[in-house]
Amino acid sequence: MPAIAYLECSRCHAHLAADTPQTVCTQCKDQPAGALYVRYDLSHLHGTSPRDVVGDGDLPWRGMWRYHAVLPDVEPVTLGEGWTPMLHSRRHPGAWLKEEGANPTGAFKARGLALAVTMAKHYGLRKLAIPSAGNAAGALSAYAAAAGIEAHVFMPRDVPIANYVEVTAYGAHVTLVDGVISDCGRMVAERKQQEDWFDVSTLKEPFRVEGKKTMGYELVEQLGWEYPDAVFYPTGGGVGMIGMWKAFEELEQLGWVKPGRRPRMFGVQSSGCAPVVKAFDDGAAASSAWQNPHTAAAGLRVPKAYGDYILLEIMRESGGMAVAVSDEDIFASIQDWAAHEGILLSPEGAAATAAYAQLLSRGVLDPSDRVVLFNTGAGLKYIDVIASALHLKAPGQA
Ligand SMILES: Cc1ncc(COP(=O)(O)O)c(C=O)c1O
Ligand SMILES: [Zn+2]
């Protein structure tokens, strides 16, 4: 595992030291201050074969820590996150589904929060706070419990019940908020100083992106160290897309990916909350806060992403685009993939599969294009949401 050389601002490219906990850039002249990337000196790995460096060695299952050579040199707080299945679709010869529902806490949020809590423990932080649509709160609560650190979670009151149950069971301090994630974020920001909380909001500390970059390494490794043509990623705050793009840059520097074009990156949102899609279509450099956001895909109910400027740049540079799908299409895709592929998608994952179907029918993509669709969470975490969409009641309930 390499030592962290420095943290680099995504806006002004200032370098910050990583020997104490950092939040966002302290050098940016313009606000909001830039998110920070973790940088290492990886020169000793240049020209190596990933087969010699990546992997579990003699150790038992290590999940995303198989990429220890490109992660911070600290003792992991792990629950077995990462190395999730890459499932070839039974109907679409070009499509692979990355099953992130197989992570601890049933969502890809485990990767980012495993690393954020690992670093919090390393720095000796005692109290962490998070605004969340639900799954990030679940993941923080689990890893904080494992690390013996306090978790303070703020979620919308209408969060899926699984998230409420899990954070309570993990022993987190829970606040339910009448509002959406941005209202939760405001509450954390108002209280954190007085309460001595470290804020692990999306992109307001550097390690959630760094943990999620392992999705980029994994998808390339699972496809034989080759890029797919396209990646579909359900985008709320967009941390996964930012992390994967960072992974691609590192993979190219290391020479670990076969030469080829980086995948076209498709960010998928719900038409009930699509600020990044609007900004993409308008040719804007950043998004405006979406008014009255509503969607059953709880993780996509993010009115304004802190890193919107990064997402828009990635999608444009990669030749991808931002795509909106309706909640109707999301639930139709859940039923379709459950009945024909045996996979119960989360509503967010089903946004990706629905967007793939939309772009095939619009001729933007060809069925022979190799695409990776991210199911970012397990459908079973949304049992109340899916039951309601399918008009199902619990058996035995009048
Ligand atoms: C299942 C699921 N998918 C996607 C997202 C969106 O993730 P991000 O904020 O990293 O874009 C979330 C966020 O809560 C989520 O829980
Ligand atoms: Zn800066």
Q: Where are the alpha helices (DSSP H) in 71-179?
A: 109-123, 135-147, 161-169
Residues composing the chain = 398
Taking the centre of ligand 1 as the mean of its atom positions, its distance from the CA of residue 281, in whole angstroms, is: 22
Strands 198-199 and 95-99: unpaired
d(CA 115, CA 113): 5
The whole-number pLDDT of residue 304 equals 96
Strands 15-16 and 4-9: antiparallel
Q: 106-134 pLDDT, tens per residue? A: 999 999 999 999 999 999 999 999 999 99
The whole-number pLDDT of residue 70 equals 96
Residue 310 near residue 242 (C-beta atoms within 8 A): yes
Which helix (DSSP H) or strand (DSSP E) does residue 100 occupy?
Answer: none
Nearest bound ligand to CA 25?
2
Nearest bound ligand to CA 35?
2
DSSP string, 331-373: HHHHHHHHHHHS--B-HHHHHHHHHHHHHHHTTSS-TTS-EEE
- Cα 266 to Cα 135, 141, 240: the distances in Å are 22, 30, 12
Taking the centre of ligand 1 as the mean of its atom positions, its distance from the CA of residue 155, in whole angstroms, is: 13
d(CA 279, CA 270): 14
d(CA 35, CA 53): 29
Q: Which residues line ligand 1 (CB under 6 A)?
A: 107, 109, 133, 135-136, 202, 234-240, 299, 346, 348, 376-377
- Please name every residue paired with 98 in a beta bridge, in sequence order, or none if there are none: 86, 374
Spatial neighbors of 152 by CB under 8 A, at least 6 apart, are 127, 128, 129, 130, 172, 173, 175, 188, 195, 197
Q: How far apart are the first and last CA of the chain?
A: 57
Residue 86 near residue 219 (C-beta atoms within 8 A): yes
The whole-number pLDDT of residue 279 equals 98
Q: 213-236 pLDDT, tens per residue? A: 999 999 999 999 999 999 999 999
Residue 335 near residue 307 (C-beta atoms within 8 A): no
Three-state DSSP class for residue 376: coil
- Cα 251 to Cα 169, 225, 226, 231, 285: the distances in Å are 39, 9, 10, 16, 27
φ and ψ at 90, to 5 degrees? -80, -15
Three-state DSSP class for residue 393: coil
d(CA 38, CA 111): 15
Taking the centre of ligand 2 as the mean of its atom positions, its distance from the CA of residue 227, in whole angstroms, is: 31
| Nearest CA, atom 14, ligand 1 | 299
The token pair at 165 is: 């149950």
Let me know the angle formed at the C-alpha of 67 by 242 and 201, rounded to the nearest 5 degrees.
Answer: 40
The whole-number pLDDT of residue 61 equals 57
Q: 239-254 and 308-318 are packed helices; what angle lies between their axes, rounded to 10 degrees?
A: 50
Which regions in the chain score pLDDT beneath 50? none
- Please name every residue paired with 268 in a beta bridge, in sequence order, or none if there are none: 234, 323
The whole-number pLDDT of residue 191 equals 97
Taking the centre of ligand 1 as the mean of its atom positions, its distance from the CA of residue 366, in whole angstroms, is: 27
Exposed, middle or buried: residue 157 (CB in 10 Å: 0-12, 13-18, 19+)? exposed
d(CA 66, CA 44): 18
The whole-number pLDDT of residue 320 equals 98
Cα 339 to chain centroid, rounded: 26
Counting ligand 1 atoms within 8 A of each CB, the residue from 108, 130, 311 with the most, and so the one to mutate, is 108
d(CA 23, CA 4): 15
Counting ligand 1 atoms within 8 A of each CB, the residue from 97, 98, 115, 135 with the most, and so the one to mutate, is 135
Counting ligand 1 atoms within 8 A of each CB, the residue from 376, 380, 386 with the most, and so the one to mutate, is 376
Give the DSSP letter of residue 69: G
Residue 334 near residue 357 (C-beta atoms within 8 A): no
The whole-number pLDDT of residue 57 equals 66
The token pair at 271 is: 């038409």
The whole-number pLDDT of residue 228 equals 98
Give the DSSP letter of residue 67: G
